[in-house]
Amino acid sequence: MGIRTGEQYINAVRSRKPDIWLEGRKVEDVMDEPVLRQTVLEIARLYDLQHDPKYQEKITHICEETGERVNNAFLVPRNYDDLMKRRAAFEAFAEATFGMMGRSPDFLNVVITSLYTNVHFLENYNKQWADNIRNYYRYIRDNDLFLTHAIINPQNDRRKSSHEQKDKFTHLGVVKETPEGLIVRGAKFLATLAAVTDEVIIYTFPGYQPGDEPYAVSFAIPIDTAGLRIICRENMQDGKRPLFDHPVASRFEETDALLVFDDVLVPWDRVFIYNNVEAANLLYPNTGIAQQPTHQSSVRGLVKLQFAMEVACKLADSIGVDTFLHVQDKLGELIQSVETIRALLRVSEFEYETTPTGEVMPNGVTLETIRGLMPTLYPRAIEVIQIIGAGGLLLSPTAADIEHPELREDIERYYVGREGVSATERISIFKLAWDLSGEAFGQRLLQYERYYTGDPIRKRAIFYNKMKKERKFEMVDEALKVSKIRETASI
């Protein structure tokens, strides 16, 4: 099929009947739910970008294997130029959503591509697993499908491993083998946008213990597979608010979900790992599915951080407070944080690494530095918006107020900004700032940035221990060695 159109994606959503639950109701038609419908329309816009003459060469390429055009997320990078092609696709999708959608289709398509490129890892354990990944990559690529994933166990008793939980199948595990495939039961989260995707991939994350073999399973299935239930979290907004009142919250809600597997059949040709704790623990660090998608999330994170920075600057300018030194200091800090991430991203691409298979990956240390900084830099940007906006963030009227003839004169008089900024312009900026810094939508974005890569404290500790092992702080040893030589010489 090659690259999808937005209409083809919408038709695919309409044709499926997954078991979706939202606010105590079973969803019969995704397109009848205002929040989910708007998300579908935004994702459809991304698919349509692939056909836009302005973007097509930037975000797609001709597949050598099929001769069809495919998204650059499916490109296996072999050199710096390939990395730049992938970056261009990531950038186009991120800019189209202002970095608000962390799980646009390109993210998991990069994961699948990384698994395909590093399929030798699976081949060391089971040739069939490797063949399954090869076939699955081609299926996703050639049909331009949209995936969600769920790789985290429910937050139950975190002191215990999966096999030690009170209920044997609290965590997703294999119940039995059948001639057709595996029967799995239990739950996984955090499946972002599950209700509007084509497929779900479950893959393993380090942390499995001896005894966890039934839970050491990776696979992919269609999102409407029998027995798979999608329990969506509470909506951050109702999908009915005017665009003026909620310019980003009304468009980019990413509904997350808990996935419940009630004796779901996973066909053998969709199994990627099973009953192997070692393979399950090594999949994430040894196949590029940590490093390559971080390139996508870093590009998206940069766009999102820049957007928050620009909102803060516009907010300050609209009421003239950016003439004050302490406000200039905060805005300068945000601009420098954006430039820090931009520079790190460029360095990661320029100082790329080449694997033994010839795959090119952005520098891992630099990417991990971005991952370590974003949980601090983005919350700081939101805090600055809150400080600058102060009480004004709590007092914006609605579009209906502005349009009402009895209120218009008061609003134009008392909501006007600095000279040259109309009341409507000032209100619209403050509303955008509130979407990011005060609304439940904005708080979800904040929490996402803090934890989407895992516990930031634990991640930084892992980073330190890795650097300690690799670098050994040899400059200090050299300095001490020189001082000892000079001390001996003076004696």
Q: Tens digits of per-residue pLDDT, 433-456?
A: 999 999 999 999 999 898 887 788
Q: Measured on CA atoms in the order 114, 119, 125, 129, is the torsion positive or negative?
A: positive
Strand partners, 229: 19, 260
Rounded distance between C-alpha atoms, residue 371 and residue 375, angstroms: 7
Give per-residue pLDDT as tens, 70-85.
999 999 999 999 999 9
- Cβ-proximal residues to 235 (8 Å cutoff; 6+ apart), any chain: 22, 23, 35, 253, 255
Rounded distance between C-alpha atoms, residue 352 and residue 369, angstroms: 15
What pLDDT sits at residue 491? Answer: 59
Strand partners, 305: none
Stronger pLDDT, 342 or 490, i.e. the higher one:
342
**DSSP symbol at 63:** -
> Which amino acid does the sequence have at 147?
L
Picking from 153, 50, 62, 146, the residue whose alpha carbon sits closest to that of residue 107 is 146
Q: Across all residues in the chain, what is the average pLDDT?
A: 94
| Largest Cα span, the chain | 93
Query: Which residues in 362-475 belong to E strands, given as ranges?
Result: none
In the numeric block, which tokens belong to residue 446? 């904040």
To 10 degrees, what angle do helices 440-451 and 423-437 make? 50
Distance of CA 338 to the CA centre of its chain: 18
> Which amino acid does the sequence have at 92?
A
Model confidence at 476, pLDDT cuts 50, 70, 90, reads confident
Give per-residue pLDDT as tens, 210-223.
999 999 999 999 99
CB 301 within 8 A of CB 99: yes
Other C-beta atoms closer than 10 Å to the C-beta of 444 total 17
Least confident of 32-46, 98-112, 335-349, 439-453: 439-453
What pLDDT sits at residue 488? Answer: 65
CB 156 within 8 A of CB 189: no
Q: Work out the average pLDDT over 327-344.
A: 98
Fold identical between 6-286 and 292-454? no
- Cβ-proximal residues to 36 (8 Å cutoff; 6+ apart), any chain: 22, 27, 30, 195, 196, 239, 255
Q: Measured on CA atoms in the order 192, 198, 202, 203, is the torsion positive or negative?
A: negative
What pLDDT sits at residue 336? Answer: 98
The strand pair at 353-354 and 228-232 is best described as unpaired
Say whether 28 sits in a helix, a strand or coil.
coil
Stronger pLDDT, 155 or 42, i.e. the higher one:
42
Q: What is the CATH number of domain 292-454?
A: 1.20.140.10
Query: Which residues in 307-368 belong to E strands, given as ranges?
Result: 353-354, 360-361
What global pTM score does this model have? 0.94
Q: Work out the average pLDDT over 8-32.
A: 95
Domain ranges of the chain: 6-286, 292-454
Torsion of CA 163, 168, 174, 177, to 10 degrees: 120
What pLDDT sits at residue 222? Answer: 98
* % residues pLDDT > 70 (the chain): 99
What pLDDT sits at residue 21? Answer: 97
Model confidence at 489, pLDDT cuts 50, 70, 90, reads low
Burial of 265 (0-12, 13-18, 19+ CB in 10 A): middle
Distance of CA 160 to the CA centre of its chain: 28
> What is the CATH topology of the domain spanning 6-286?
Butyryl-CoA Dehydrogenase, subunit A; domain 2 (2.40.110)
What pLDDT sits at residue 377? Answer: 97
Say whether 10 sits in a helix, a strand or coil.
helix
Stronger pLDDT, 59 or 482, i.e. the higher one:
59
Sheet bearing 199-202, strands edge to edge: 147-149, 199-202, 217-222, 271-274
Whether residue 232 has pLDDT greater than 80: yes
Give per-residue pLDDT as tens, 362-377.
999 999 999 999 999 9
